[in-house]
A and B are shown apart, each in its own frame.
Chain A
Amino acid sequence: MAERVYLHVGTPKTGTSGFQHALFTQRKELAAAGVTYPADRFDGQFLAALDLMDLPWGGLEREASGAWDRLTAEANSARGRVIISHEILGRASRMQVDRALSSLDGEAHIVVTARDLARQLPAEWQENVKHRRTIRYADFLDALRDPGRSREIAQWFWGVQELPDILDRWGGSLPPERVHVVTVPPPGSPRTLLGDRLAATLGLDAAVLHTTGDRANASLGVAESALIRALNERLDVVLPNQHYRQFVRESLVHQNLGVTRESARLTLPPDVHAWATEVSRSWVEVLAGRGYTVAGDLEELVPAAQTLPFVDPDHPDPEQLSQVGLRALAASVLESARLRDVEIELHEVIDDLMRQLDEAHLTRLYRTRERLVSFADSNPVAKAGLAGYRRLRGRNSRPT
């Protein structure tokens, strides 16, 4: 039985992809240190989270069926510490949290990595854009500020980002010392600081978490985000999801536009920044009174004064947009050429196979058998004989 289970339940856009990549790729090293990260594929814990929360996710939910039970079976059979991590778990309802906690044998600890809202809001919009959404930045921010939270986009955002509520749902039944808040350091801090804090919380060797590899999410600038959003409008419905994932999200965003940000960083309009600061202060006040274990400083959750000017992605600079458009076009042409080369190679393989097949068909034995089969079509005796032969042989074709 696991001695302790850390459930890292969010929040999105706090380096979770890199963290999960490090844990997944170094499962053996972790196991040697008495830590289990139960997953047989990179997105194994994501599927388990979908299953726990009964969430449809573009068809992936079919693969997710039963994944939570498989995950907990592995976790419960482990010794030492177990880490379960996925940022969408933050959205679980109390009923689902009860199911999750009661299905795990070890001492449960809740871990939340948290970042200030002034960085979370633009990052979440960009994440939405990378997932085919076409909502404009201003509309997105309006939806989030609507107190009624009537739009699905707001319901989702607050479900996975509203720290006091997430911690209420996940940590409400646990002693506060078993609820850990890890704050994301402010801009300009050493790159390894977040990893150090997480490692200290989970009792890991910090070196493990400094290997985030290429799973860290791409960072888009204003013009890049505007371009992808406009592209989504054009591609809506007509491009199937699997192609969108390959050509837009993976190739265009992750491998090209997101590698080097050439346009301004996306920030908040001044009035939204002030509102985000006010909301954050109220959260910090609530969290400070709860006695949770904090790695970092809750004050880091209050947005710093805005130093960068706000550049509106709904009205991007045409010159910048065209530059980004050219980069995207070049990347798409190169990708098309690469795929064309693959296609040519495959055609050569097919031609070679067809030639070998033709040669096989030219043998006397093959032609005799072909004539016999053809004869059996018109002759009942031959037909019965062939059927008997096939029954005796047990299959209707030889293995190749």
Chain B
Amino acid sequence: MTAYDDAVAGWYTHLHGGGTDTWARWLNADRSEPAVSAPRTTAVQLELVRRLGELGELPRFGALAEAVVATPAFGRGSLEMPLPWPEAPTYGPRAVPPEDLPAGELLRVAAPVLARLVPRLPEAPPRPAPAGGRWWRRAVTVTGPPALAGPLRRQLLAAGLRDRSRNATRIVLAAPFEQAMFGLWSVRVAEGASVRWSRFWQIRSRADRVPPAFNAARLARLAPGPHDRTHLVIAADRDLAARTVAELSGVAVDLPPSPEWAEVDLRRRLNRVVEATTDPPRRAALGARLAALLREHPECSSGSGGSGESVAPPRAERAWAVATGIRLADDVASLVATGGYPVHGNPADLLGAPDPGVDAPVTTTAERTLHLALVAVRAAWAQLEGGR
């Protein structure tokens, strides 16, 4: 063992026991405790253990530390980040103080750790299956962005309404483009996708492809029957939209709060880790367990200001996003101008004020996901170990 290996083993021992000293502070302190056997691990795993320890006590924390240091970093990125050391070799990755490691690097270990814990959590309660339409009940068809139309349609079906009939009341939801994109991303991730937020936008903007369900004006024009049976609901405000749909359908419906960006990003990373070995339905089930865990533990908040945050597109796609948002809103305005369609809400709300949202530097957004990952690991561990 080299002096470096000894020092790493010593710091690991400190962290294993729940210590939270940084590497630099630990090196400068006078230590005499015997080192536990240290696995061949890197600065990333050790720093992750330290940060988990910083968040407070946990039952059998040492076992969690052992699980973390035995987890290889997932995917591409830095290889084996060493800890700063005076006699470092002239080759290999340059060491940085572990507390300065990029959040993305820590997430490459945190996500696979979570991927090992989440399957052991109790299954999420199944989503109530739609009861199926009763032929004598009225028919209401809801279309629009999937994150809004999907839950509303399911609730109406669960209440026994039909969604297909020539004489159906048709509700077309229109949402601000960026909000609808975030909703669609969160739906895809909940179904098991692992696409990044930036890539999700890029694919659509480069091909100038707008999801058809976002084009409220077109959906309304395509709706059969007289115009006055097609209701255009401006869903910039989720609660207001749910209330309007409830009034029109006669069924008490609500829209669950939109997930935080960091939660969707964390689920995406979890999907990525398990993608090679699980099919989309199993990934969706894992994601649902994680979401249930986050709901049960209020401390699992990324601190971004709660749900309903405004989510802006990546900088590179902003011009396309703005142009597309304006085009869709203009189409809705033209439709409204033709008259005949009952309109609920103010079409001008479709053009929300530009908001920096998550278009902050990537490190900031990854920091939020990392915070959520850390508290999720702790919550999962506490739940699993608490029940022992």
Q: Nearest chain B CB to A383's CB is how many angstroms away?
A: 22
B78 touches A54 (CB 8 A): no
Residues 136-153 (chain A) with a chain B CB within 8 angstroms? 147-149, 152
B91 touches A282 (CB 8 A): yes
Q: List 14 A-B contacts (CB under 8 A).
A: A51-B276, A54-B112, A55-B75, A56-B75, A93-B79, A98-B40, A155-B76, A162-B92, A164-B89, A164-B91, A165-B89, A168-B89, A238-B206, A286-B90
Please tell me if A305 contacts chain B, counting CB pairs below 8 Å. Answer: no
Separation of A159 and B202 alpha carbons in the complex (Å): 28
Q: Nearest chain A CB to B140's CB is how many angstroms away?
A: 31
Q: Which of B76, B80, B94, B272 contacts A156 (CB 8 A)?
A: B76
Give the residues in chain A near B203, CB-CB below 8 Å.
Answer: 237
Determine, out of A58-66, A192-200, A217-225, A341-349, the stretch whose residues face the partner at the interface.
Answer: A58-66
Please tell me if A91 contacts chain B, counting CB pairs below 8 Å. Answer: yes
Please tell me if A96 contacts chain B, counting CB pairs below 8 Å. Answer: yes
B residues whose Cβ falls under 8 Å from a Cβ of A: 39-42, 70, 72-80, 89-94, 96, 112, 202-203, 206-207, 272, 275-277
A237 touches B206 (CB 8 A): yes
Q: Using CB atoms, name the residue of chain A closest to B92.
A: A165
- Assuming the contacts A62-B276, A238-B207, A283-B91, asked whether A93 and B42 have C-beta atoms less than 8 A apart, the reply is yes
Separation of A237 and B76 alpha carbons in the complex (Å): 21
Describe B's contact surface by its main secondary structure: loop
Please tell me if A357 contacts chain B, counting CB pairs below 8 Å. Answer: no
Separation of A56 and B268 alpha carbons in the complex (Å): 14
Please tell me if A308 contacts chain B, counting CB pairs below 8 Å. Answer: no
B276 touches A56 (CB 8 A): yes
Describe A's contact surface by its main secondary structure: helix
Q: Which of B41, B73, B206 contacts A236 (CB 8 A)?
A: B206
Q: Which of A54, A61, A65, A237 contacts B207 (CB 8 A)?
A: A237
Q: Using CB atoms, name the residue of chain B closest to A237.
A: B206
Sorting the interface of chain A by its residue count into under 10, 10 to 19, 20 to 34 or 35 or more gives 20 to 34
A residues whose Cβ falls under 8 Å from a Cβ of B: 51, 53-56, 61-62, 64-65, 91, 93-96, 98, 147-149, 152, 155-156, 158-159, 162, 164-165, 168-169, 236-238, 282-283, 286
Give the residues in chain B near A94, CB-CB below 8 Å.
Answer: 40, 80
Give the residues in chain B near A62, CB-CB below 8 Å.
Answer: 275-276
A169 touches B90 (CB 8 A): no
A61 touches B275 (CB 8 A): yes
Separation of A282 and B89 alpha carbons in the complex (Å): 11
A93 touches B72 (CB 8 A): yes
Give the residues in chain B near A168, CB-CB below 8 Å.
Answer: 89, 92
- Assuming the contacts A155-B77, A155-B79, asked whether A286 and B91 have C-beta atoms less than 8 A apart, the reply is yes
Q: Using CB atoms, name the residue of chain B closest to A156.
A: B76
- Assuming the contacts A155-B78, A238-B206, asked whether A61 and B91 have C-beta atoms less than 8 A apart, the reply is no
